[in-house]
Structure 1
Amino acid sequence: MKYYTFILALFFSIVMPGYTLFSQVSQNEAKKPKLIVGVVVDQMRYDYLTKFSNKYGEGGFKKLEREGHNFKNNYLNYVPTKTAPGHASIYTGTTPSVHGIINNSWYNKKLKKIEYCVNDPNVSPVGTGSKVERHSPNNLLVETIGDANTIATNGKGKTISIALKSRAAILSGGKKADAAYWFRGKGQGGWITSSYYTEQLPEWVRKFNESEKVDIYLDTWNTLLPIESYTESTRDNTSFERGFNGKEKVTFPYNLKALAPENGNYDILKYTPFGNSLTLDFALAALENEALGKDEFTDFLLISFSSTDYIGHNFGVNAIETEDAYLRLDRDIERMLLELNKKVGKENYTLFLTADHGALENSNFLKSEGIAASYFKEGSFKSDLKTKMFALYKDVNVIEDISNNQIYFNKEKIKELGLTVEELTKNILIFLNDYPMIAKALSRKQILSQEFTSTKAQYIQKGFHKERGGDIYYVLEQNTAVYAQSGSGHGSLYEYDSHIPLLFYGARIKKGETNERTYSTSIVATIAEIIDLKIPDTASNLSLKCIKL
C-alpha cells in the first residue's frame, strides 16, 4: 500500500504539480516575502566585518554571515564614493551617469552655484520650524526599486525610508516613497520630513518626538567593553583624531550632555553610536505603526545608519571610537533581527546589509606607519590652475568652477576671448597630468565618446553625468586625502573606498558565501527577482546568485 501511495504522489508531482506535497514545499520556499529591509551602514569598509569579528556577538553581523549569504568581494564601480551617489546607486541599480546624483552637492551650471543633492525650493519642511530642510528626491532622474514596487502594487506596497541624513533617507526611498524621515538635531532633536511626502507628521511620529526618547541618549558615551580590550584599534587619544569641542583630550568617557551646547546640541548624537540606536528605535516604531509586512503586498523598510560615517570622519578608521561604534551597531542589528522575527516572522522578510562607501585611513597615520600618503590642498591647486590660466590667457575667468574633482568652463568668456573649448581643454589636461598627486584626468569629450579598458577611466565614466558634469574630470593618486588632517575621509575609486560589505538574509536566501567580484548595482535586480517584480529599465539586470528557487 505504501508503494502505491508513493507512486501516486510521484505521478501527481509530475502531472499535476499544483496539488502535490513536493510542489507545495517548492512553492513555500519560493513564497514572496512580505517585507524587504534594506540596511545601509554609512562608511562601512568590508574589513570591519573581519577586523572586529572576535568581539561581535552571535546574533548580529555573525548571524547574517552564518545564516545568510556573504558577498565577500563586493564593490562600488564608479566615483565619487560618497553618501548621496552611494544610496542612489544601491536603490536604483545604476550609476551616477544614469541616475544623476553625481555627489552630495554639485555645481549647477544653469543656476551657477553649488546645489545640495536633495534641495528643492518648491517644498516646505514638515515637523520643524527650520526653513533650511526644503528637501525632496526631484534631482533623482530614474526610479528606485521601491518606486517600481509602488507602481506594480498600485500603491498598496509601502516604502518607508529612515536615516539621520536627509540625502540618505530621500535617495533611498525614491520619488514614490510613502515617507522619508530624517533627524533634525540642533535644539530640536526630532524626526522630520517635507511637504513632498505629507503636509503634517503622522500621529505616531509626533508621539515619538514628544516622548523625548532622544534625551535618554544624551548621556555618557563610554566603551561597551573594557577599553584595554580594544586591541584592533590605536591607543586612546592620538593626534589623528578630531574629537569634540570643549574636551581637550580625545579620550573616553564623553559626557554628551555637558558637551552638547558646544557641539550642535542634539547634533552631537550623530557623532556617537547612539545616533544609530535612535535611528533603529524610530525604524522599529515605523515597522509597528505603519503595519509593514502585514498583508500580501510587499513593503520596503529602508534604514541607513549614518553615525558610523560621522564617527569615522571625526575619529578615523583606526580609532577606539570607531571600533566601539561597530560593536554597538552589532548589538543593534541583533535587536533589529529579533524584532523583525517577532513582528513579521523570519520566513516573511528578506534583508540586505551593505554600505554606501568605505574610507581611507588617516594620511598622517599611514605616514607614521611608513606608508606613502599625501594631502591634496585644494585651495593651492585652484590657485595654481588660475595662475596658469592667467599666464596663458591673461584672464582667470575662463574657469567658472572647480569642485568635486571637476572643472567647469566659462563658455561665454571663452567665446569673448576668441578661444576654443578644445584649446582650453588641451592646455588644462597638460597642466593636470604634470600636477603632483593627480593620477588621471579626462576631458568631457573623452568620457562621453570613448570606450575604456582601464578601471580608473571606467569608474570616471560611470560617475559622470552628461548634463551635470564638468568639462574635465580628474582623480587623485592612491592614499591621497582632501579632508582635514584628522579623522578619515572617502570619495576615491581605490579599494579602501570601494570594497564594501554585502549580506543577504531571510526569506528566499540560500546560505553561503561568494568570492566572485560583485557590484552593489546588482542589489535591485536581486530584490526584483525575489519579489517577482519587473526590473526597472535603467537598472542592471545582473541578479546575484543567492536566491533559493
Structure 2
Amino acid sequence: MGIVIDQMRYDYLTRFADRYSEDGFQRLLQEGFSLENAHYSLIPTYTAVGHATIFTGTSPSDHGIISNNWYDKYAKKEIYCVDDFQYQTIGNDSNDGKKSPHRMLTTTITDQLHLSQNMKGKIIGIAIKDRSAILPAGHTANGAYWFSGSNFGQWVSSSFYMDALPNWVNEFNNSNKNDSYLSHPWETLYDLNTYTQSIADNNAFEDLFAGEQTPTFPHDVPNLKKNNDNYSLIKAIPAGNTMTADFAKAAIIGEQLGKSEFTDFLTISFSSTDYIGHQYGPASVEIEDTYLRLDKDLADLFQTLDSEVGKGNYSLFLTADHAAVHVPSYLQSLKIPAHYFRQKDFIAYLSTLTQKYFQSDQLIENVSNYQIFLNQLVVESLGLDKNTVAQKLADEVINYDGIYKAVTARTLQTNPFSEGILNSLQNGYNQKFSGDVMLVPYPATLSRGKTGTSHGSGYSYDTHVPIIFYGNGFKKGTSAKKYDIIDIAPTIANVLQIEAPNSTTGKVVSEALQK
C-alpha cells in the first residue's frame, strides 16, 4: 500500500510527535524504517508532479507530468494533467470523471506489479483529488476513485476504468455517510490552550471560509456548507481525511484486498491536509489539529488492515507529494526574508524587454509556472533565432526584482547540473513540453494574496518530506542519509521482486530492507 499525505512537511512528524497515538504515526516510526532526510530534487513541487514522481521513480523530465496545469505549446492552451474528454464520469452526470492517466508517459510501480502477475491481483487508487487517485494507480488499475463535491457529494470514477461503480462504492455513496462528515462543527480535538506548537488562533495570516469573520475555532461547518460550495467544503476540513480513510476501509473489504494468492496494491492520498494547509499555513492551530486527527484516521486504517489482511501480511510506505512554506507575510513579520510575486507586472516587464531588444511585443506566447514560452511563429517571421531571444530574456530578467535565477531551455539541454536548485530545475524540465526560459524566484516567494500559503519551489521547505517504509520486507530503524523521492518505487520493486517502472532513475534504499 502507498500512502501519500498532501502537503506534509517532514517536521509535522517531529513537532506533533508527543501527541500522536501509539497506533498511528508512532506505529510507523517505531516499527518501520524512517528516512529523515528525504527530498524532492525537482521543480515544480506540485500535487500531480509529486504523485507521478513517487510512483514512477523518475522526474518530470521523463514521466511528462510537468505541473498540475500547464501550457500546451502544441494545442496553444492550458491543459490539466488528467483531463481526458474521450471518457465519461461513472457515478453521476457531472464532468468530474472525464479523466485518465494518459499524459503520464511512463509506467508506475502499480503497473509493473500488474504486468508481473499477468494482470492478476487488484490495483485500486483512492483520493479526494482526481489526480491523486489516478496517477498513483497507473495505466492498468482496476479502479481509481475520487470525490465529486459541490451538489453531488459522491465518490466517482471514469469510464477509462469501468462501466459502472462496484456495489461497495454505491453502498458507500448511498449510506449518507458523506452527509455525516458535514453535520457538526470543526472544533479542536483537545482543549485549544494545549495547542502549543501553533501561533495564536486569531491572526492576520490565515484565509477565511466564506461567511466567517475570523479564522478561529470553532468552524461552524453545517452553517458554512451553503456558502462554501456545499459538499466541496469537506475537502477543506479534517473530516475529508476521515472520509478518505473510511472509503479506503470499504475498498479493502469490498474488493477483498489481500485475500487472494496474488499481490494487491492500494494507493491512498489524503488531500484535505493540502486544502487546510493552503488556507491556514504550517504554523496554524488548524494544521496541528488536522494532523492529530489524521493520526487517529491512520490508526483506524491500520487496524482494518490488521483484521482483514493480517499484521505482517502487508507492506506500505508513507510519504508526501510536497511540503509547504510558512506564510510569507508571517515570515515578514518576523523579519525573515519573504516575498510576493506579481505575475501581471512581470508579464508587462517582459513586453518592454522584447520591444526594446527585438522591436516586438508579440514574442511572448505564454508565461506560467515560472516558465516563458516564446511564440515560435512570430520569432521566425521576424528573422530571429529562438535561442538568441531566449538567452537575451534570461540575461535581462535576472535584473527583475523577485527573479533569482533564469536559465534557458538550451542551457538545460546542454549542461548537466549535478546538485542544487539548478539540478532540481533540470529534473523538472521536459524537453518536449516545457518552456523556453525557466525562472526561479527568491526563497519564500508566493504569487498570491498575503494570507495562506502554497508550494512549488525547489527550496527545502517544499522538498523535505517524510518517507517511512513499514511491514513485511522492511526492518525497524532510521537513516539521516539524503534520499530522493524517486527512490521509493525501485525500493518497493525490490521488495516485491519485480521490475521497477520503465523510466526509473532512483536507487534502492537497501538499508531499509529486511534481508
Q: Same fold (TM over 0.5)?
A: yes
In structure 2, the residue matched to 1:304 is 269
1:125 and 1:195 in contact (8 A); partners too: yes
In structure 1, the residue matched to 2:422 is 457
Alpha-carbon shift at residue 422 of structure 1 (Å): 2.6
In the TM superposition, 1:127-526 aligns within 5 A as 127-218=91-182, 219-526=184-491
Amino acid at match of 2:345: S
SS at the partner of 1:225? coil
SS at the partner of 1:518? strand
- Give the stretch that moved more between structures: 355-364 or 419-428: 419-428
In structure 1, the residue matched to 2:81 is 117
Render the CA deviation track for 1:197-238: whole Å, top value 9, x for unaligned. 011111111111011101111121100010000011011121
State, as a whole percentage, how many aligned pairs show the same letter. 42
Alpha-carbon shift at residue 282 of structure 1 (Å): 0.4
In 2, Cα distance between the equivalents of 1:454 and 1:162? 34
2:326 and 2:453 in contact (8 A); partners too: yes
Render the CA deviation track for 1:286-325: whole Å, top value 9, x for unaligned. 0001011111211101000000000000111111011100
Q: Is it true that 1:548 corresponds to 2:507 in the alignment?
A: no
Alignment partner of 2:11 out of 38, 41, 47? 47
Amino acid at match of 2:214: K
In structure 2, the residue matched to 1:3 is none
- Give the stretch that moved more between structures: 386-395 or 333-342: 386-395
In 2, Cα distance between the equivalents of 1:80 and 1:535? 24
Amino acid at match of 2:276: I
Q: How many corresponding residue pairs?
A: 513
1:68 and 1:504 in contact (8 A); partners too: yes
Q: Is it true that 1:532 corresponds to 2:497 in the alignment?
A: yes
In 2, Cα distance between the equivalents of 1:351 and 1:251? 36
Amino acid at match of 1:196: F
Gaps of at least 5 residues in structure 1 are: 1-36
2:443 and 2:459 in contact (8 A); partners too: yes
Alpha-carbon shift at residue 132 of structure 1 (Å): 4.7
In 1, Cα distance between the equivalents of 2:263 and 2:343? 47
- Give the stretch that moved more between structures: 393-402 or 404-413: 393-402
Amino acid at match of 2:450: Q
SS at the partner of 1:193? strand
Find runs of 4+ consecutive structure 1 residues off by over 2 angstroms.
390-395
Alignment partner of 2:57 out of 86, 90, 93? 93
In 2, Cα distance between the equivalents of 1:81 and 1:273? 23
Q: Is it true that 1:83 corresponds to 2:47 in the alignment?
A: yes
In 1, Cα distance between the equivalents of 2:380 and 2:478? 57
1:535 and 1:541 in contact (8 A); partners too: no
- Taking only aligned residues, the RMSD between alpha carbons, in angstroms, comes to 1.0
Render the CA deviation track for 1:218-262: whole Å, top value 9, x for unaligned. 121100010000011011121100020001111111111110111
Q: Is it true that 1:71 corresponds to 2:27 in the alignment?
A: no
Amino acid at match of 2:305: L
TM-score by length of structure 2 reads: 0.98
TM-score by length of structure 1 reads: 0.92
1:140 and 1:171 in contact (8 A); partners too: yes
Alpha-carbon shift at residue 454 of structure 1 (Å): 4.3
In 1, Cα distance between the equivalents of 2:246 and 2:488? 25
2:199 and 2:283 in contact (8 A); partners too: yes
Alpha-carbon shift at residue 509 of structure 1 (Å): 1.1
SS at the partner of 2:225? helix
Alpha-carbon shift at residue 542 of structure 1 (Å): 1.1
In 2, Cα distance between the equivalents of 1:541 and 1:280? 29
In 2, Cα distance between the equivalents of 1:152 and 1:518? 27
- Give the stretch that moved more between structures: 327-336 or 434-443: 434-443
2:58 and 2:506 in contact (8 A); partners too: no
In 1, Cα distance between the equivalents of 2:393 and 2:126? 43
In 2, Cα distance between the equivalents of 1:541 and 1:446? 24
Q: Is it true that 1:56 corresponds to 2:20 in the alignment?
A: yes
- Give the stretch that moved more between structures: 205-214 or 389-398: 389-398
Gaps of at least 5 residues in structure 2 are: none
In 2, Cα distance between the equivalents of 1:285 and 1:76? 32
Bigger Rg over Cα: 1
Distance 1:393 1:540, change over 3 A: closer
Alpha-carbon shift at residue 394 of structure 1 (Å): 3.4
Amino acid at match of 1:62: Q
